[in-house]
């Protein structure tokens, strides 16, 4: 084919030894981030600690920001804003914004979760985000979260991550007795009320009044002894079951990486490291690690919260322009994942318009469903601007839609930001088995996405 034709580039195919080493080294740091930050609270705390190490200080509303300032806003421990004030004229250039989310699909404990049935202590869950329920049975699960006790004391819980920890479990039928379940439509194999977690099986031996709930009684006594908890403390708790698996390399060549919650920590990591690694201090940059994307970006820690606009307004007033004028000049990358083309499931994707593993950062002009419904659909002009930045900086990138037209679809935070009159486009790492307990990405794409963010904020 002539040079006039468009062709995707495979990152590994063209990488020299030095680049390969950089790709693999970068993935190591990423692995510890995903392993230590399995919930939005943990990911927020992890990134915050690194930012503090780089000199970022807490921001207070009303504080005047000036060139060289590096500040953060920790929103309820679940949503982090990092702001670096540049030396260039912010009023003229606007803010370069990158938003990624740090919440991922999981199973949350209900507020009254504990019960005993047939000699097993269990917990009821309510899933968070879009999951294929059957995938969460018969895998090791870890319990993460926070409990606020009656006296206001907060107990942070992580059980199931150490090799010596117990894990938690959802059962499924043996094939011998699954004929009826097998005949159900795939999506109905397990219902939301079937995702009940096994917590214990040893009865409490000493005499109690409740002879029927001795296993639950034993569990309550363990929880009290270990954490000082009583059953009512679950009322004011946020406890989640997440896969207990750690990030691992995939394949003999180790080019891919499997981990839980890569949507969207695989974009959150390059977003905040791009900012913290940047030594050029010209641009004003904001990196947001958002919560609640998986359930529609609602609430006080999601991107629909007024806080995002409020913080931009604080920057605007610091440099003496209106918030509207600042937003009009600002640019945003909505850093979120796209579906990687999967040879096992070719039929759901258009091979021309899909993102492929190891072919670089995936730019997505529009998301949405059916006739682009629910998408911000970035303009050709803005795509052109971004394309120029990436090409001039040698970033390997590709483009793709989330599946074939009319097969499905999805959304990101992009539209909420674009609604504020900020040019916004989706870009991120292609993910295979998205929203499953163990998702797969390419180390090469992770690294190219990092390079893309570096180029965008420079
Ligand atoms: Mn996402
Ligand atoms: Mn998602």
Residue corresponding to tokens 């995702």: 195
| Torsion region of 251: left, alpha or beta (phi above 0 gives left; psi -120 to 50 gives alpha) | left
> For the chain, what's the residue count?
458
What does the pLDDT look like over 2-58, one tens digit per residue?
Answer: 889 999 999 999 999 999 999 999 999 999 999 999 999 999 999 999 999 999 999
Percent of the chain whose pLDDT exceeds 70: 100
Average pLDDT over residues 53-64: 97
Peptide bond into 413 cis (omega under 30): no
CA of 44 to the centre of ligand 2 (A): 17
Residue 127 pairs in a beta bridge with 107
What residues pack around ion ligand 1 (CB closer than 5 A)?
Answer: 263-264, 336
Contacts 24+ apart (CB under 8 A), 300-307: 300/75, 300/76, 301/40, 301/75, 301/76, 301/78, 301/79, 302/79, 303/99, 303/101, 303/413, 303/416, 303/417, 304/416, 305/75, 305/79, 307/73, 307/75, 307/79, 307/81
What does the pLDDT look like over 125-181, one tens digit per residue?
Answer: 999 999 999 999 999 999 999 999 999 999 999 999 999 999 999 999 999 999 999
pLDDT for the residue 215: 95
What does the pLDDT look like over 413-427, one tens digit per residue?
Answer: 999 999 999 999 999
Q: What is the pTM of this model?
A: 0.97
Residue 208 pLDDT > 80: no
Residue 375 to residue 179: CA distance in whole angstroms: 42
Any idea which ligand is nearest the CA of 412?
Answer: 1
CA of 294 to the centre of ligand 2 (A): 5
pLDDT for the residue 133: 97
Average pLDDT over residues 277-304: 97
CA of 412 to the centre of ligand 1 (A): 6
CA of 190 to the centre of ligand 2 (A): 21
Q: ∠ CA 93-97-102 to the nearest 5 degrees?
A: 175
pLDDT for the residue 419: 97
Strands (E), 102-200: 106-117, 120-128, 141-148, 154-159, 197-200
Mean of the per-residue pLDDT values of the chain: 96
CA of 379 to the centre of ligand 2 (A): 24
Query: Do residues 118 and 203 touch, judged by C-beta distance below 8 A?
Result: no
Half-sphere CA count of 266, side-chain side, radius 13 A: 36
pLDDT for the residue 114: 98
CA of 264 to the centre of ligand 2 (A): 7
Any idea which ligand is nearest the CA of 102?
Answer: 1
pLDDT for the residue 207: 73
pLDDT for the residue 2: 80
Average pLDDT over residues 370-397: 96
Token pair in block for residue 112: 């009254």
pLDDT for the residue 212: 81
CA of 410 to the centre of ligand 2 (A): 8
Stated as kind and residue range, the H or E segment containing 334 is strand 331-335
CA of 311 to the centre of ligand 2 (A): 25
Domains, the chain, ordered by start: 11-99+260-457 (3.40.630.10), 106-243 (2.30.250.10)
Any idea which ligand is nearest the CA of 303?
Answer: 1
What does the pLDDT look like over 306-323, one tens digit per residue?
Answer: 999 999 999 999 999 999
The dihedral formed by the CA atoms of 346, 250, 292 and 196, expressed in degrees to the nearest 10: 90
Burial class from Cβ neighbours inside 10 Å (0-12, 13-18, 19+) for residue 313 reads middle
Would you place residue 254 in the very low, low, confident or very high pLDDT band (cuts 50, 70, 90)? very high
CA of 213 to the centre of ligand 1 (A): 41
Angle between helices 443-457 and 262-277 (to 10 degrees): 40
CA of 115 to the centre of ligand 2 (A): 31
Phi, psi of 433, deg, nearest 5: 55, 40
pLDDT for the residue 342: 98
pLDDT for the residue 220: 96
């Amino acid at each position: 084919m002539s040079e006039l034709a468009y062709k995707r580039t495979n990152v590994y195919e063209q990488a020299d030894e030095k680049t390969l080493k950089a790709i693999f080294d970068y993935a190591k740091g990423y692995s510890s981030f995903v392993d230590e930050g399995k919930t939005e609270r943990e990911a927020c705390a992890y990134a915050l600690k690194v930012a503090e190490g780089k000199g970022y200080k807490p921001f207070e509303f009303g504080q005047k920001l000036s060139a060289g300032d590096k500040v953060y806003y920790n929103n309820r421990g679940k949503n982090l804003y990092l702001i670096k004030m540049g030396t260039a004229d912010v009023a003229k250039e606007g803010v370069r914004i990158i938003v990624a989310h740090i919440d991922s699909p999981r199973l949350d404990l209900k507020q009254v979760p504990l019960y005993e049935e047939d000699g097993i202590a269990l917990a009821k869950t309510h899933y968070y985000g879009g999951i294929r329920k059957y995938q969460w049975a018969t895998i090791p699960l870890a319990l993460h979260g926070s409990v606020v006790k009656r006296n206001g004391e907060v107990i942070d819980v992580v059980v199931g991550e150490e090799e010596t920890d117990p894990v938690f479990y959802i059962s499924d039928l043996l094939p011998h007795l699954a004929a009826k379940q097998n005949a159900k439509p795939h999506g109905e194999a397990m219902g939301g009320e079937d995702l009940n977690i096994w917590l214990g099986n040893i009865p409490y031996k000493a005499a109690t009044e409740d002879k029927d709930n001795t296993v639950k009684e034993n569990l309550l006594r363990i929880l009290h002894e270990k954490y000082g908890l009583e059953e009512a403390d679950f009322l004011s708790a946020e406890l989640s079951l997440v896969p207990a698996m750690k990030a691992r390399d995939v394949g003999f060549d180790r080019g891919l990486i499997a981990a839980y919650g890569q949507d969207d920590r695989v974009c959150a990591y390059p977003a905040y490291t791009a900012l913290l690694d940047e030594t050029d201090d010209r641009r004003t940059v904001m990196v947001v690690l958002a919560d609640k994307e998986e359930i529609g970006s609602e609430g006080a820690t999601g991107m629909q919260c007024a806080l995002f606009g409020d913080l931009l307004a604080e920057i605007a007033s610091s440099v003496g322009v209106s918030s509207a004028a600042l937003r009009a000049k600002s640019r945003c990358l909505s850093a979120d994942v796209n579906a990687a083309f999967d040879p096992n499931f070719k039929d759901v994707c258009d091979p021309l318009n899909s993102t492929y593993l190891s072919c670089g950062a995936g730019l997505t002009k529009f998301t949405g469903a059916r006739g682009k419904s629910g998408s911000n659909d970035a303009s050709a002009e803005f795509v052109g601007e971004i394309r120029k930045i990436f090409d001039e900086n040698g970033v390997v990138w590709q483009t793709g839609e989330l599946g074939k037209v009319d097969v499905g679809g999805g959304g990101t935070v992009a539209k909420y930001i674009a609604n504020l009159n900020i040019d916004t486009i989706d870009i991120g790492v292609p993910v295979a088995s998205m929203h499953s307990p163990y998702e797969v990405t390419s180390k090469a794409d992770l690294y190219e996405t990092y390079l893309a963010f570096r180029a965008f904020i420079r």
